[in-house]
Amino acid sequence: MPVKFHLVVFILYIYVDAVFSSFCYWNTACSYRYFSTKTPYNAVRGDIRDSVINLPECEPISIWGIFRSGRTYPDPKSAIKMKEAIAIRDLVVSSYEKGRCSLCAQDIDNLRDWAIDKDMFDKTSALHDEGRKEMFGVASRLKEVYTLLKELDRANYAFRSTQHRWVKESAKAFMEGLGNKNLVMDELTSDAIKTDVEEDPAWNKEMNKYTISPDYLAAKDRIQRRLGLDYSLTSDNITALYDLCWYTWSGLNNKASPWCALFTTEDLKVLEYIGDLEHYYKDGHGRQSTNMNNQIPLPDLLETFQLAKSGKGRKITACFTRSRIMDMVYAALGWFKDSKPITAADKKRDRLWRTSRINPHAANVVMVLNRCAFKKTSDYHVMFYLNEEPLRSVCEGGICSWTEFEKLLTPFRETTSNKTVS
């Protein structure tokens, strides 16, 4: 074989090795922090105190919001897989010591020094302390902006939660954030999602196709070479390591996880997209089932604001739920719908259905009914907020006239709603 050919191969090897060695996670200026529906709320939220829409001669008279629960501990199934994956840490350190791993020295130190939090295995599915603070913070900021929340009695509020433990704990944290110890939660009779999606083999079709796509396989190969392990990582291994990455990321302190050093930014984008596909086809715009509208509380929103117009409404109605219902609400309202369905074959960077931004931990949609006095006549406007930022894609700049609002909600008049949020 010609000498020149050996030289080219040698140079290429050095170049590839240098590329993989040049990425140091620990001092990356802006670490990637978008993990689909496991994204920390603080990574994407706004601040209602800065972004509130104030219209001249208008007064807020009623607030209606739907809130996803705050961050939780892993579910039992994920916790088991994460616990097993922790053993890979020693293999990565050993690989580095043998010169086969391309992680930076400091990334290895951070991974080696990482301490196991026993609560992640002992408190499965419970509300995490960060989740409690997320919900408390949302409520306290709302109260700071809207004075009508400072004096609440049993007749002018409603707090509704599903029966899921972590959701009820989130609701309680929110109520604590309002600073009124006398607030009580409504009793619910049911919180079951009546759906055939689990029996529908089509909902995870695109997600499964993506896990054998060139995009995913390239990421899998990058991770394998980056870690330099003696055995081939399975997709389950990668998922468990990814779970350790997002779970051990501190959203409140904006502190990156040493487990995320196992991935490049492009790897994390690939894994994020798997979550987008899952939620798009399971409960979002790609869902085939037709009974979705029966599961969401939008009829109550219209009724609540109609009563408020007549002087009989509540100051605040807050519904607490899971990520699945948030997806259903977005799909039912036609929000965040791309011109073409998202698929395994085309991971668009500018897609509208981006669960990291629309459905992170503690995701929320808040509507505020305002009574306005223009030329001595009463008029009403509704402001829309997503995660404490105006939802500008609704009406004009997130401000709907009453006519526009009624038109948006009218399709839900005939749906069956028991005012629960499954």
Q: For 244-290, how does the pLDDT look when each residue is reduced to its tens digit (9 = 90+)?
A: 999 999 888 888 899 999 999 999 999 999 999 999 999 999 987 65
d(CA 402, CA 306): 10
Average pLDDT over residues 6-23: 44
Q: Domains in the chain, start-ordered, CATH in brackets?
A: 3-412 (3.40.50.1240)
Average pLDDT over residues 331-342: 96
d(CA 274, CA 310): 46
Q: For 109-158, how does the pLDDT look when each residue is reduced to its tens digit (9 = 90+)?
A: 999 999 999 999 999 999 999 999 999 999 999 999 999 999 999 999 99
Is the per-residue pLDDT at 192 higher than 60? no
The predicted structure's pLDDT at residue 415: 56
Which of 171, 129, 133 lies closest to 319 in space, CA to CA? 171
- pTM of structure: 0.90
Is the per-residue pLDDT at 214 higher than 90? yes
Average pLDDT over residues 97-107: 96
Beta strands 316-321 and 157-161: pairing type? parallel
Is the per-residue pLDDT at 206 higher than 50? yes
List phi, psi (to 5°) of 155. -85, -15
Is the per-residue pLDDT at 18 higher than 70? no
Average pLDDT over residues 395-402: 94
